[in-house]
């Protein structure tokens, strides 16, 4: 995989936020699935394949938009359960 330059003001920090949120979503689901969860960190390919990256992208971008508009931030559980 090729290294990208961090040139830009919007996407580099947002992309980092998306990966972080994807990891959080992965770990939240792993803890729900069983008591033997050891805090394993998923690889990026696992996060993409499991749909965590896509969900995190939706959450982060929606929250950034809502923050810009001065609206309350949506909780992750609402997005995961489709309550919106």
Residue 16 forms part of a structural domain: no
- Whether 62 maps to a domain, the answer reads yes
36 inside domain: no
- Residue 49 maps to a domain: yes
How far CA 25 is from CA of 15, 22, 62, 75, in Å, comes to: 15, 5, 16, 12
Q: How many domains does the chain have?
A: 1
Question: Tens of pLDDT along 5-23?
Answer: 657 899 999 999 999 999 9
Is 21 among the domain residues?
A: no
Domain span holding position 80 = 42-84
Burial of 21 (0-12, 13-18, 19+ CB in 10 A): buried
What pLDDT sits at residue 23? 95
Task: Give pLDDT tens digits for 19-62.
Answer: 999 999 999 888 887 766 677 889 999 999 999 999 999 999 99
Instruction: State the pTM of this model.
Output: 0.76
Residue 13 covered by a domain: no
């Amino acid at each position: 995989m090729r290294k990208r330059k961090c040139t830009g003001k919007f996407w580099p920090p947002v992309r980092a936020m998306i990966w972080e949120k994807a990891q959080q979503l992965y770990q939240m689901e792993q803890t729900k699935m069983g008591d033997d969860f050891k805090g394993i960190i998923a690889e990026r390919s696992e996060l993409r394949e499991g749909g965590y990256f896509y969900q995190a992208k939706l959450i982060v971008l929606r929250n950034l938009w809502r923050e810009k508009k001065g609206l309350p931030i949506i909780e992750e559980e609402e997005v995961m359960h489709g309550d919106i």
